[in-house]
Structure 1
């Protein structure tokens, strides 16, 4: 059993400290099953379904799913074989506790030496908290976690000082694998975002004159709207709608500057059959009317 109790704190977001006194031998880590009948994550009336903060690391390896879990105000859905890595200072919220099945590891900051902390990226808050290992990675992680649990529960073979040293080595082995998975997942996500944005950019270039709908582009490309938003924001700092609008405005400016087309025809050429709607759109984005923009250039 792993028990992470919280003491004190009224109002605001409660902080759950690492319960050293409840770990086997008083060491700075715990490992055990999620969802056992005697398992508790809180004290008194502190419901885990409320947002709270932790001052330690939590790694959950799920054996069942799906489970929805909020970390730093983003909802993640974990399935069997997935891991969630929550770092100190992050706020999170559990869904119905009975849905959690698998193994949970908690670790107090300072339990591992600085060199190991740096090598394992324990404070890489830029890395994704939800990890999806492939079959080989999952097998290795499960094996390392099982070995760590055996060492944690074996308090008779070695004196406490050696027991703690072995735990640190076993924990390091597991975290090195986990850190590699997190880093490679982040790189894969970046590459996917790059690909997603490139496809979106190309689709907008072909269709901006008739299609100004983010949802339509998402459907066309086979992505969810959320995926498209993340990819475009990562690549440009803009929303997909903002990116589309900028492309429409650019084309309108080109036509106004380099052709003698009537303003109504310019609007129609960039997807606004109604001249009034085009003028309103253009003014919103440039603080000038189309006519004023053209006059300024001539």
Structure 2
């Protein structure tokens, strides 16, 4: 699979997209497995320390930490035994100050058949990217990934077609374990969430572009403001207003990064008819003006 341009292509938003580096894979197959390291790159020109996008899957299993890694403008802190799963199209950035140690798996879309893709939830963008398995699950994942790496590196005992087939089966076994962990983690988080917070979260997701008022949400849901504050603080550690503002900022960042909309129209899209008020709000919460944020990504 050739690169779209010599330096990776953008999607009209100034953020480069890098394809799966088939030329760097053993035997030209659609996966790579190996140790993390500064010498491992998606592409010779891929700016790992800057915001960029990839069109393939990345799973990092850490043996050290902490490592801070940005995925879709959210910062995640991973420690030894944690995994990060980055899916195609997600924007991310490596940390200059973190030492990445462990194993990394990259996989080209299309390497696995459709039934396996569906069974393993490869495109479940609703699942959390940061996974923290318990000791038994971690041991099983490590063993499965080690086996996959051995099969990946063994190009002598099987002809290429059988080698690729064995890799698909080994990869499927690892991904089924990983998908189970991701789904279980998401379900545990849902069970722990208070019903009040869940209703508030869903209401914010639906109306954040037009409604920034905590009292309005409380009235609409039939709760007192105090009840809503307690529920949101218990679930997230922050106030309802802070939760709303974070969602507004995230949407503004996405629009600034992924579109060429004028700043005023971005502000209007997230509930600020006045461009100056939007700029003040954005700078208060990010430390940057919308113009500076967009320029940093271009």
TM beyond 0.5: yes
User: 1:136 aligns to what?
Assistant: 136
User: 1:148 aligns to what?
Assistant: 148
Change (3 A) 1:195 1:102: farther
Structure 1 residue 123 corresponds to structure 2 residue 123: yes
User: 1:250 aligns to what?
Assistant: none
Question: CA offset at residue 39 of structure 1?
Answer: 2.9
Asked if the contact 1:151/1:166 (under 8 Å) is kept, the reply is: yes
**C-alpha distance in 2 between matches for 1:186 and 1:21:** 36
Question: CA offset at residue 7 of structure 1?
Answer: 3.6
Structure 1 residue 225 corresponds to structure 2 residue 238: yes
User: 2:296 aligns to what?
Assistant: none
Change (3 A) 1:74 1:149: same
Change (3 A) 1:222 1:182: closer
Question: CA offset at residue 73 of structure 1?
Answer: 1.4
* 1:128-207 correspondence runs (5 A): 128-194=128-194, 197=197
**C-alpha distance in 2 between matches for 1:56 and 1:103:** 17
Asked if the contact 2:194/2:235 (under 8 Å) is kept, the reply is: no
Asked if the contact 1:56/1:106 (under 8 Å) is kept, the reply is: yes
**C-alpha distance in 2 between matches for 1:70 and 1:9:** 20
Question: Highest relative contact order (Cα 8 Å, sep 6+), 1 or 2?
Answer: 2
**C-alpha distance in 1 between matches for 2:239 and 2:175:** 30
Q: What's the TM-score, normalizing by structure 1?
A: 0.65
**C-alpha distance in 1 between matches for 2:25 and 2:227:** 57
Deviations 1:149-175 (A, max 9, x none): 000001101111111110000000000
Q: C-alpha root-mean-square deviation of aligned residues, in Å?
A: 3.7
**C-alpha distance in 1 between matches for 2:228 and 2:175:** 44
Change (3 A) 1:8 1:137: same
**C-alpha distance in 2 between matches for 1:151 and 1:228:** 51
Question: CA offset at residue 197 of structure 1?
Answer: 3.1
Structure 1 residue 49 corresponds to structure 2 residue 19: no
**C-alpha distance in 2 between matches for 1:228 and 1:186:** 24
Question: CA offset at residue 23 of structure 1?
Answer: 0.2
* 1:1-298 correspondence runs (5 A): 7-9=6-8, 12-35=14-37, 38-44=39-45, 46-96=46-96, 99-194=99-194, 197=197, 214=229, 218=233, 221=234, 224-225=237-238
Asked if the contact 1:6/1:43 (under 8 Å) is kept, the reply is: no
Question: CA offset at residue 223 of structure 1?
Answer: 5.5
Deviations 1:74-99 (A, max 9, x none): 11111111111111111111112751
Question: CA offset at residue 70 of structure 1?
Answer: 1.1
**C-alpha distance in 1 between matches for 2:32 and 2:15:** 24
Q: What's the TM-score, normalizing by structure 2?
A: 0.65
SS of the equivalent of 2:48 reads: coil
Question: CA offset at residue 129 of structure 1?
Answer: 0.8
Matched residue pairs, number?
223
